[in-house]
Structure 1
Amino acid sequence: RWLHEDAIRPWQHRTWIFPRDPQFALKAGRILDLYARRWEGRRLRGDEFVLSTDEKTSIQARVRRHPTLPPRPRCAARVEHEYVRAGAWAYLAALDVHRAKVFGRCEPTTGIDPFARLVAQVMAQPPYRDARRVFWIMDNGSSHRGQPCVRRLTQAYPNLVPVHGPIHASWLNQIEIYFSILQRKVLTPNDFSCLAEVEDRLLRFQEHYESLATPFDWRFTRDDLARLIKKLAPQPSPVRLAA
């Protein structure tokens, strides 16, 4: 009764990761500025673009041992529990956050070379090829980590500006929203006849999505970030006075 009155649910919990990057506010703030079409205090020009990129790894092709039964009135579709694995793709993608354009490709694995092929795929076409600057927001995965990545990309594409987010801050990367949509609408349930069908469905959904999509209504701002950091900051322990 006491727990109920205090709205305490000790049997419920959620996991989280404490922001330990000492430059969390700086790195996160730059990304939020780009979403608001600002960089280093100035508005972006019309020939400057912002891309959010990442990889969705190990997308399996599960071939069910028996055909899936379609839904009927008062009966959901039935997917066979047993399956055979027919291989897996890594899906690499980049989202133009202000134009709702998606660029993706399937690779056998992730890594520096597969990511370089995605970048080349995007940067070879207009408007990015001739843009003044193209900002690529990315995490700190091994495919595009640190200064070696910055050197590789800027040497190959002088108009490309890599922007690394803080560690453990994938929620700041808008491509993760697209991956969530992809998981729900394309990959669930996982029921494919072969690995090639997975690639075909992923790339066809890109085209379908672009025909309907608008930019995400991103509302988390620098002010929200400041409040979050203040909330997470260690609080001084109350001083107990001796009786």
Structure 2
Amino acid sequence: MELTASERHRLKKTAYGHKTPHQTRRRATIVLLAARGRGNADRKRSGRPPTSTALQITEVKALACQLPTESGAPLSRCSYPQLAREAVTRAITDTISASTVRRWLKADALKPWRHRSWTFLRDPDFRATAQRVLDLHARIFDGAPLGEDEYVISADEKTSVQARCRCRPPLAPGRARAMRVNHT
């Protein structure tokens, strides 16, 4: 990208101006860097690289959405530390902290203790099915990365978001009881 002297001068005034809106300053800086030959590829993320796989994150989220009694816990709801211990017990991950579980659930706005579903059927082949889908999202097929000319096209990823009627009407929330919605 090449700039004329007047364009470069105007962009520098914009990029370094104290009264220029932030977004405009940022755009001017990007154009100036591109004119110097700097690419726009993402830089490496600072800090420690993630140690958990997408499959582990998905399995912990699925675990959080199960009722505690299904795992033999004598509780009506689970806390973050209990979910972390259960994930290690079930060998989903070697170690995990309660704050990591909280962050993962918060990322998808999951609050299973606030919303209870019934008629929830767990897929016995969940791990295999989830692994295949998550590998495709990571551009991996049968253990090999996809080439530059290969694409993944998904026609229907979220089957439970289809426009369809519910089998049973939702049960209204009551005092100290969250609204209950039929899941299937």
Structure with the greater alpha carbon radius of gyration: 2
Q: Same fold (TM over 0.5)?
A: no
Q: TM-score, normalised by structure 1?
A: 0.23
Q: TM-score, normalised by structure 2?
A: 0.28
Pick the structure with more strand per residue: 1
Pick the structure with more helix per residue: 2
Task: Name which structure has the greater RCO, CA cutoff 8 Å, separation 6+.
Answer: 1
